[in-house]
Chains A and B, each alone.
Chain A
Amino acid sequence: MTLKELSRGVAAVLLASGLGVGAHAADAIRIGFLTVKSGALAAGGKQMEDGLRLFLKERNNMIAGRKVELIVADTAGQPAITKTKTQELVEKDKVNVIIGPLAAFEALAINDYIRQSETPIISPSAAAEDLTQRKPNPWFVRAVGTSAQANHALGEYAAKQLKYKRIAMIADDFAYGHELSAGFQRTFEENGGKIVQKLWSPLNVADYGTYISQIKPDVDAVFAGFAGGNGIKFLKQYQEYGLKGKIPVLGTMTTVDEGILKSMGDEALGVVSAGWYSATLDNPNNKKFVAEMNRDYKQDPGYYSVGAYSSALMLEQALKDVKGKIEDKQAFMAALRKVHLTNDPRGNISLDALGNPIMDIYIRKVERKNGKLVNAVIKTYPQVSQFWTYKQADFLAAPVYSRDYPPAKNLEK
Chain B
Amino acid sequence: MNFWLIQSLNSLALGGVLFTLAAGFSLIFGLMRIANLSHGAYFMFGAYIGLAVLDRGHGFGVAVIAAGLAVGIMGGIVERVVLRRLAGNTLSQVLATLGVAFVIADGALWIWGGDPRPVSPPEFLAGGVQLFGLTFPLYRLAVLVFSILVAIGLWALLDKTRLGVMIRASVDDRQMAQGIGVPATKLFTVVFCLGTALAGLGGVIAAPILSVYPGLDADMLPLALVVVILGGLGSLAGAFVGSLLIGFIYSFGQVLFPDLAYMILFLPMVVILAVRPRGLFGRITA
B135 touches A229 (CB 8 A): no
Interface residues of B in 69-120 (CB under 8 A from A): 105-106, 109, 113-118, 120
Q: B19 interface residue, CB < 8 Å from A?
A: no
Q: A192 interface residue, CB < 8 Å from B?
A: no
Q: Chain B residues with Cβ under 8 A from A241's Cβ?
A: 128, 134-137
What string of 1s and 0s marks CB contacts (under 8 Å) between A214-241 and chain B? Answer: 1000000000000011001100110011
Residue from A40, A207, A262 within 8 A of B214 (CB atoms): A40
A200 touches B258 (CB 8 A): yes
Q: Chain A residues with Cβ under 8 A from B7's Cβ?
A: 210, 213
Also in contact, A206 and B109, with CB within 8 A (given A211-B254, A213-B3, A240-B137): no
B118 touches A206 (CB 8 A): no
Q: In the complex, A236 Cα to B136 Cα: how many Å? A: 13
A232 touches B10 (CB 8 A): no
Q: How far is the CB of B245 from chain A (nearest CB, A)?
A: 15
Of B178-186, B205-213, B229-237, the stretch lying at the interface with chain A is B205-213
A43 touches B115 (CB 8 A): yes
A38 touches B115 (CB 8 A): no
Q: A173 interface residue, CB < 8 Å from B?
A: yes
B136 touches A264 (CB 8 A): no
B134 touches A232 (CB 8 A): no
Residue from B116, B258, B262 within 8 A of A263 (CB atoms): B116
Q: B261 interface residue, CB < 8 Å from A?
A: yes
Q: Chain B residues with Cβ under 8 A from A259's Cβ?
A: 115
Q: In the complex, A40 Cα to B139 Cα: how many Å? A: 26
B261 touches A202 (CB 8 A): yes
Q: Chain A residues with Cβ under 8 A from B135's Cβ?
A: 240-243
| CB closest chain-B residue, reference A44 | B114
Q: Chain B residues with Cβ under 8 A from A104's Cβ?
A: none
What string of 1s and 0s marks CB contacts (under 8 Å) between B238-275 and chain A? Answer: 00000000000011001100100110000000000000
| CB closest chain-B residue, reference A234 | B211
Also in contact, A213 and B134, with CB within 8 A (given A40-B214, A206-B223): yes
Q: B13 interface residue, CB < 8 Å from A?
A: yes
| CB closest chain-A residue, reference B206 | A206
Q: In the complex, A321 Cα to B262 Cα: how many Å? A: 49
Q: Chain A residues with Cβ under 8 A from B173's Cβ?
A: none
Q: Chain B residues with Cβ under 8 A from A45's Cβ?
A: 114
Q: How far is the CB of A244 from chain B (nearest CB, A)?
A: 10
Residue from B10, B14, B109, B118 within 8 A of A213 (CB atoms): B10
Q: How far is the CB of A337 from chain B (nearest CB, A)?
A: 33
Query: How extensive is the interface on chain A, given as a class?
Result: 35 or more
Q: A42 interface residue, CB < 8 Å from B?
A: yes
Q: B140 interface residue, CB < 8 Å from A?
A: yes
| CB closest chain-B residue, reference A233 | B211
B261 touches A173 (CB 8 A): yes
Q: B159 interface residue, CB < 8 Å from A?
A: no
A206 touches B14 (CB 8 A): yes
Q: Chain B residues with Cβ under 8 A from A39's Cβ?
A: 105, 214-215
Total interface residues on B, using CB and 8 Å? 41
B214 touches A42 (CB 8 A): yes
Residue from A43, A199, A201, A237 within 8 A of B116 (CB atoms): A43
A229 touches B211 (CB 8 A): yes
Q: In the complex, A263 Cα to B251 Cα: how many Å? A: 27
Q: How far is the CB of A224 from chain B (nearest CB, A)?
A: 15
| CB closest chain-A residue, reference B11 | A210
A43 touches B261 (CB 8 A): no
Q: In the complex, A240 Cα to B138 Cα: how many Å? A: 9
B106 touches A38 (CB 8 A): yes
What string of 1s and 0s marks CB contacts (under 8 Å) between B208-227 and chain A? Answer: 01110111001110010000
Q: A265 interface residue, CB < 8 Å from B?
A: yes
Q: A204 interface residue, CB < 8 Å from B?
A: yes
Q: A325 interface residue, CB < 8 Å from B?
A: no
What string of 1s and 0s marks CB contacts (under 8 Å) between A252-267 and chain B? Answer: 0000000110111100
A232 touches B139 (CB 8 A): no
Q: Chain A residues with Cβ under 8 A from B13's Cβ?
A: 207, 209
Q: In the complex, A199 Cα to B210 Cα: how many Å? A: 19
Also in contact, A207 and B114, with CB within 8 A (given A202-B261, A214-B255): no
Also in contact, A206 and B128, with CB within 8 A (given A199-B258, A240-B139): no
Interface residues of B in 1-17 (CB under 8 A from A): 3, 6-7, 10, 13-14, 17
Q: In the complex, A367 Cα to B172 Cα: how many Å? A: 60
Q: Chain A residues with Cβ under 8 A from B14's Cβ?
A: 206-207, 209
A229 touches B116 (CB 8 A): yes
Q: Chain B residues with Cβ under 8 A from A201's Cβ?
A: 254, 261
B118 touches A236 (CB 8 A): yes
Interface residues of A in 242-301 (CB under 8 A from B): 242-243, 259-260, 262-265
Q: Chain A residues with Cβ under 8 A from B140's Cβ?
A: 209
Residue from A43, A199, A202, A233 within 8 A of B118 (CB atoms): A233
Q: Chain A residues with Cβ under 8 A from B114's Cβ?
A: 41-46
| CB closest chain-B residue, reference A199 | B258
Q: In the complex, A205 Cα to B209 Cα: how many Å? A: 11
What string of 1s and 0s marks CB contacts (under 8 Å) between A20-50 and chain B? Answer: 0000000000000000001111111110000
Q: In the complex, A44 Cα to B17 Cα: how many Å? A: 28
| CB closest chain-A residue, reference B138 | A240
Q: Chain B residues with Cβ under 8 A from A46's Cβ?
A: 113-114
Q: Chain B residues with Cβ under 8 A from A264's Cβ?
A: 118
Q: A232-B117, A233-B210 are in contact. List 7 more A-B contacts (CB 8 A).
A: A40-B215, A173-B261, A206-B250, A209-B14, A210-B7, A232-B211, A241-B128
Q: What is B's interface to A at a CB cutoff of 8 Å?
A: 3, 6-7, 10, 13-14, 17, 105-106, 109, 113-118, 120, 128, 134-137, 139-140, 209-211, 213-215, 218-220, 223, 250-251, 254-255, 258, 261-262
- Shortest beta-carbon contacts, A-B, top 4: A242-B135, A229-B116, A40-B215, A42-B114
- 27 of the cross-chain contacts (CB-CB < 8 Å) are A38-B214, A39-B214, A39-B215, A40-B214, A43-B114, A43-B116, A43-B214, A201-B261, A202-B261, A202-B262, A204-B219, A205-B261, A206-B17, A206-B220, A206-B250, A209-B13, A209-B14, A209-B137, A209-B209, A210-B251, A229-B115, A232-B118, A240-B139, A241-B134, A242-B134, A242-B135, A265-B120
